[in-house]
Amino acid sequence: MIRRYIFPVLLGLVGCGILVGLGVWQLERLGWKERLLAEIRGRIDAAPVALPAHPDPARDRYLAVVAKGHVGQRELHVLTGTVLGGPGYRIVSPFTLGDGERVLVDRGFVPQDKAGAVRPGYDTTLVGNLDWPRETDSFTPKPDLKNNIWFARDVDAMAKALKTRPLLIVAKTEPGEAAYVQPIPVDTHGIPNDHLNYAITWFSLALCWLGMTGLLLWRIRRKQV
């Protein structure tokens, strides 16, 4: 009679152990992600430094930088939207440094109905963060060059279009007070951190598994009475 309980008990213990293990693993991932986010926030908020001579996407992503130069009038419009501003575009322009080198600058957001406003170039001391956005994949539409609408910040393609280095500075402020431009500084809001929710899910499934095991044992016992 006891043999009838062996398999259900083993199944319950093994299944519950696996689910609890997955929950613990997600808690460990949560600690790792929180440390990573703290490191990124520290890099974003650090005192700005001069542009590195040979920036590296892995080492220098989110690096706070300061540079003097000229923001060009030419613009690329990246389709996006904000909670308060509604649909609109990110404005990406060329930024010419004092030595003549040209890079990209993400100046910020403009509402869709203000995209055509005139925003002349200007000299400035630009403060921002280096970024290599990972916004493109095989499903990203090609830019509508005729209407100047881009569907992602593709640094390499934008650099070719504006004849700059493939290096993007995301501005923290818009010193030139250009028409309707609202800066969108780099932050960590777009970096997902759902590990706590995953851990709760696995632990909840472990409790359900235990409950189902208990129900199975109860039904076995009832059949024996």
- The answer, yes or no, to whether residue 225 has pLDDT greater than 60, is no
Query: How much is the pLDDT for 178?
Result: 61
| Contacts for 224 with CB less than 8 Å, ≥ 6 apart | 1, 4
* Pairwise CA distance, residues 196 & 54, whole Å: 38
Query: How much is the pLDDT for 117?
Result: 87
Query: How much is the pLDDT for 85?
Result: 72
Query: How much is the pLDDT for 160?
Result: 96
* Pairwise CA distance, residues 82 & 159, whole Å: 25
Which range has the top average pLDDT, 16-30, 72-86, 204-218?
A: 16-30
Range of weakest confidence among 31-35, 203-207, 208-212, 217-221: 217-221
- The answer, yes or no, to whether residue 62 has pLDDT greater than 90, is yes
Mean predicted confidence (pLDDT) in 89-107 = 95
- The answer, yes or no, to whether residue 84 has pLDDT greater than 80, is no
Mean predicted confidence (pLDDT) in 45-73 = 93
Mean predicted confidence (pLDDT) in 14-21 = 94
Mean predicted confidence (pLDDT) in 133-160 = 93
Q: Is the overall model pTM greater than 0.85, yes or no? A: no
At 192, which amino acid appears?
A: P
- The answer, yes or no, to whether residue 93 has pLDDT greater than 90, is yes
* Domain residue limits, the chain: 3-41+192-224, 63-171
| Contacts for 47 with CB less than 8 Å, ≥ 6 apart | 64
> What digits encode the pLDDT tens for the residues 5-16?
788 788 889 999
> What digits encode the pLDDT tens for the residues 177-199?
566 788 899 988 888 899 999 99
> What digits encode the pLDDT tens for the residues 110-130?
999 888 888 888 899 999 999
Q: Which of 135, 140, 133, 78 is nearest to 107 (CA)?
A: 78
CB 109 within 8 A of CB 79: no
- The answer, yes or no, to whether residue 224 has pLDDT greater than 80, is no
- The answer, yes or no, to whether residue 150 has pLDDT greater than 80, is yes
